Amino acid sequence: MTLGQAFDSVINAARAGAEWAWAELYDDLAPLVLGYLRGRGAAEPEDLTGEVFLHMVRDVGSFEGNERDFRAWTLSIAHHRLLDDVRYRKRRPAEPAGDEIAQHTAQGGNVETEALSAMGSGQVMRIIQTLSSDQRDVLLLRMIAGLTIEEIASILEKRVGAVKALQRRGLANLRKRISREGVPL
């Protein structure tokens, strides 16, 4: 789902403080942000998503660009917020992670989510967790957010060649894992 040509008017209305505009932006981008944070194993992906959007509200005045730039910018906020959260939780361990998060997201009370859980969301999470952190970043941003190699390179602050290499190795690992476990349904 994209805003398309309405993006400019929506972002301007949001800057003017229109609540409806913020709701539009949230509905458009929250699934991507939440999906990325869940796939990266964030302990509290919903809470982090809320913080990402609050950050967006604070800094939207400094944003310049089109809708695609705005998406990359929002996911950049999400990535840095996730890193902060990971550092914070390393200092205060004993937090749920991995399968627990997958179970937690699957038990959200949403019928669709419960159905997806039944179709093997736990398996998806297990396969994703076999990748390195950088490979997960690249593939999740590619698969879920649909960002380009260049956009991901900018978010991760890496060279384009490095991101391409991470993508290739990640895909090779996925292929190997899928060939063993089969495609999750």
Partner 1 sequence: MSDMNAYESDMGWLSKLSDEEIEQALAGDYAGGDASLADLAAFSLAAKTTFAAAPEDATRAAHVNAMAEAAADLDVAPAHASKPAASRPIRRVKLVLTSLFASLIAKVALVGLALAATTGGLAAAGSLPEPAQEALARAAEKVGFELPAAGDAEEGEAGVPEGLPESTEGSSAPSVLDVIRSWADDKGCEFGHAVATAAGGSPGPCQDEQGGNDEGEGRPESAGKGRPEGAGKPEGTPTSKPAGAGEGQGKPEGTPSSKPEGAVKPEGTPGGGNPEADGGAGGTGSGDEDRGGASSGSSSSNGNTDGADKPSSVPGGRP
Q: Which residues bind partner 1 (CB under 8 A)?
A: 14, 17, 19, 22-23, 26-27, 30-32, 34-36, 38-39, 46, 49-50, 53-54, 56-58, 105, 108-110, 112-113, 116, 119-121, 124-125, 127-128, 139-140, 142-144, 146, 167-168, 171-172, 174-176, 178-179, 183-185
> At its nearest, how many Å lie between partner 1 and the CB of residue 108?
6
> At its nearest, how many Å lie between partner 1 and the CB of residue 165?
11
How far apart are the C-alpha atoms of 126 and 97, rounded to whole Å? 11
The alpha helices in 40-159, defined as continuous H runs, are 45-59, 67-91, 99-106, 111-118, 121-129, 133-143, 149-156
> At its nearest, how many Å lie between partner 1 and the CB of residue 100?
15
Taking the least distance from each CB to partner 1, the nearer of 43 and 139 is 139
DSSP 3-state assignment of 39?
helix
Taking the least distance from each CB to partner 1, the nearer of 77 and 125 is 125
> At its nearest, how many Å lie between partner 1 and the CB of residue 91?
26
Contacts of 132 (CB under 8 A, 6+ apart): 166, 169, 170
How far apart are the C-alpha atoms of 65 and 15, rounded to whole Å? 14
How far apart are the C-alpha atoms of 138 and 167, rounded to whole Å? 6
